[in-house]
Amino acid sequence: MSDLLRGLNVSVWSFGLTFVAIGLLVLVIIAVDRLFPVKPEKGEGEETVSEPAGELAGEESDDAEVAAAIAAALYRLQEEEPMYEELGSALLSGPGPWWSVRRYPQQPMRVASEQRRD
C-alpha cells in the first residue's frame, strides 16, 4: 500500500470515528434531557406576547410619534458624522505620550540577593 493510500485510509477512519463520537455524545445529551426534563418555575408556563397599546386598541400610530422617532434617529445620525471627519487627525499629530516611554533609558533589574546587600 502506498503512502498516499495509507494516509487517506487513516484520514477516513479518523474522520469517521470523530463523527461517530460526536453522534454518540448528542444521543447521550438527548437521553439525559428526556430523563431529567427542566421543570418550569411558577408563572413561567404562560407566555404572553406584548404588543403596542395602539395596536391592541385597534388604533393606528400617531403621526407625531412617528415624526419624533424619525427626528431622534436623524439627530443621532448627525451626532456620529463628526467622528468620521476627525478619523485621521490623530495620525497627523504625531506620536502620543505613550511612545515617549522608549526615550528614557531602562535601568537593569536587580536580583533579589543584590537588593538585600544594599
Of residues 86 and 52, the one with the higher pLDDT is: 86
Query: What cell does 58 get?
Result: 385597534
pLDDT of residue 114: 61
The contacts of residue 60 (CB under 8 Å, 6+ apart) are 54
Q: What is the DSSP letter of 87?
A: T
Average pLDDT, the chain: 76
User: Quick one: pLDDT at residue 42?
Assistant: 77
Say yes or no to pLDDT of 99 above 90. Answer: no
Better pLDDT: 1 or 64: 64
pLDDT at 48 over 80: no
DSSP result, 19-77? HHHHHHHHHHHHHHHHHSPPPPPTTTS-------HHHHTTPPPPHHHHHHHHHHHHHHH
